[in-house]
């Protein structure tokens, strides 16, 4: 039996319970998802683009699925420590897929902004959720189709027309279960025309000694002239696996920045698919991965230019130590309808150990002559001359290595447009490279979420 078969069988046996634990708009897409999965399988290493990460193997273990919505034990109060120094954020907690708002969120949420349970939003705003849910995420992906088949809840974020948020929205995701568990969650983010917002997500494992798997699909709709920043920080555990797929659609004049930071994990596959549908858009995807022990981090990024005079930039950097492995596959596609496109892609990697491994595959698909595009990838070791120079000045070897790796990551950190978040990320990277706990749940002086 394939990994996919067990979940299809679970759905067929429990479709009434799955639907009862969710809402109309989510339930409406399940038949199409089931049809898309018929005769299908989850990708493995024989598939192009998955040479280093088998999604089938990731889902193969006998994980439980909480289809009856049983309240699992979790110290939600501990999540309140996860904050950004000197930034007042609108904080909510996602325990597995169960949305838990905080009092400051309910108190300080401005008019025109909605942050709530996706299932609840489907009940209160059925027209809005039905119009956008599943409109960007493609059921052609078996992982997305499986998520659509089983997802019962998640997060709904809507920034109203012309609303400009001066506080980041922060979603702290906690994986917590007493037994090995598959968590299936969705995020639907709608930035209406002329709106501006920053969204920070932090992913943590509250039961690090118990194997867990998260299937996450994020849909982002950036309306005309909207500006939205999304930063995702994963700080989970060695027994955690995560398959995250982010889909975004940009309308004319919109500005989208996506940052993905993997600081500690077990096995992770992140996919980013951005479709530029209107002219004069700006799009940026940046990623950072720090691997040690046996960590595995795989990022796949695609930006499709379907309209003229837009710009995009993809920047990914990895530092891999011990026996960790990394993979990056990125592509830029420029359609015949997208003249005067400027698109750039860079992947740079450091192997800090002879046993570390990196796989990289940049691609350009250009179907228009009036463009300016480039791509490149490099993989190497730390600069021995720089290490020698630093040691000759009395800097210990371990400290010199850490300083060089931290400097290497600066370019990615600097893509974060919120200053306090950028400073916090520098601190997390420094601690992670020093071998210390890099958890953003560490609450230092100045942490607040109000």
23-61 confidence digits (pLDDT tens): 999 999 999 999 999 989 999 999 999 999 999 999 999
Residue 251, in any domain of the structure? yes
The residue behind tokens 């070791």 is: 381
Residue 81, in any domain of the structure? yes
DSSP string of 345-412, one letter each residue? EEEEEEE-STT-EEEEEEEEEE--SSEEEEEEEEEE---HHHHHHHHHTT--HHHHHHHHHHHHHHHH
Q: What is the mean pLDDT of residues 234-238?
A: 94
- Work out the number of other CB atoms within 10 angstroms of the CB of residue 432: 25
* Residue 41 Cα distances to 5, 32, 142, 347, angstroms: 8, 16, 7, 30
383-410 pLDDT tens trace: 777 777 778 888 887 778 878 888 889 9
State the alpha helices, DSSP H only, in 151-254: none
Q: For the chain, what is the domain count?
A: 1
Token representation of residue 74: 């979790």
Nearest one of 326, 279, 270 to 301, comparing CA atoms: 270
Residue 297, in any domain of the structure? yes
Residue 399, in any domain of the structure? yes
Range of the domain at 80: 3-433
Residue 447, in any domain of the structure? no
pLDDT-based confidence at residue 431 (cuts at 50, 70, 90): confident
Residue 149, in any domain of the structure? yes
159-178 pLDDT tens trace: 999 999 988 999 999 998 99
Q: Give the CA radius of gyration of the chain.
A: 21
353-366 pLDDT tens trace: 999 999 999 999 99
Tell me the β-bridge partners of 262.
234, 289
Contact 33, 12 (CB under 8 A): no
Distance CA 353, CA 111 (A): 52
pTM: 0.93
pLDDT in the model for residue 85: 45
- Work out the number of other CB atoms within 10 angstroms of the CB of residue 261: 25
63-114 pLDDT tens trace: 999 999 988 777 666 555 554 444 578 899 999 999 988 888 888 899 999 9
Residue 450, in any domain of the structure? no
Residue 444, in any domain of the structure? no
Distance CA 251, CA 278 (A): 5
């Amino acid at each position: 039996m394939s990994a996919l078969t067990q979940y299809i069988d679970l759905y067929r046996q429990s479709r009434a319970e799955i639907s009862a634990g969710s809402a109309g708009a989510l339930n409406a897409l399940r038949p199409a998802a089931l049809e898309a999965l018929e005769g299908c399988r989850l990708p493995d290493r024989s598939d192009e683009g998955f040479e280093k990460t088998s999604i089938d193997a990731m889902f193969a273990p006998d994980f439980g699925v909480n289809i009856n919505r049983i309240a699992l034990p979790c110290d939600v109060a501990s999540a309140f420590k996860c904050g950004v120094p000197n930034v007042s954020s609108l904080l909510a907690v996602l325990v597995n897929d169960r949305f838990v708002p905080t009092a400051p969120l309910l108190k300080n949420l401005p008019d025109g902004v909605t942050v709530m349970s996706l299932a609840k939003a489907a009940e209160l705003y059925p027209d809005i959720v039905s119009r956008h849910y599943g409109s960007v995420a493609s059921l052609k992906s078996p992982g997305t189709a499986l998520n659509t088949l089983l997802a019962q809840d998640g997060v709904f974020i809507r920034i109203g027309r012309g609303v400009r948020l001066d506080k980041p929205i922060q979603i702290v995701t906690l994986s917590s279960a007493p037994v090995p568990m598959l968590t299936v969650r969705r995020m639907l983010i709608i930035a209406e025309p002329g709106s501006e917002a920053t969204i920070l997500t932090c992913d943590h494992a509250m039961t690090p000694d118990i194997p867990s798997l998260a299937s996450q699909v994020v849909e982002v709709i950036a309306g005309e002239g909207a500006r939205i920043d999304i930063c995702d920080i994963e700080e989970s555990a060695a027994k955690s696996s995560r398959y995250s797929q982010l889909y975004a659609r940009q309308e004319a004049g919109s500005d989208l920045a996506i940052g993905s930071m993997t600081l500690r994990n077990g096995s992770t596959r992140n996919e980013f698919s951005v479709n530029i549908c209107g002219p004069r858009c700006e799009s940026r995807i940046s990623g950072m991965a720090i691997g040690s022990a046996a960590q595995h981090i795989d990022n796949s990024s695609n930006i499709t230019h379907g309209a003229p005079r837009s710009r995009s930039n993809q920047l990914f950097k990895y530092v891999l130590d011990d026996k960790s492995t990394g993979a990056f596959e990125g592509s830029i596609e420029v359609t015949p309808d997208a003249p005067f496109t400027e698109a750039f892609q860079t992947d740079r990697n450091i192997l800090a150990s002879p046993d570390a491994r990196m796989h990289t595959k940049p691609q350009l698909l250009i179907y228009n002559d009036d463009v300016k595009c480039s791509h490149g990838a490099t993989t190497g070791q730390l600069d021995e001359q720089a290490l020698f120079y630093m040691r000759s000045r009395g800097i210990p070897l371990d400290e010199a290595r850490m300083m060089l790796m931290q400097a290497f990551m600066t370019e990615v950190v600097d893509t974060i447009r919120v200053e306090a978040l950028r400073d916090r990320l520098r601190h997390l990277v420094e601690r992670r490279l020093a071998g210390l706990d890099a958890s953003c749940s560490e609450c230092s002086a100045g942490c607040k979420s109000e």
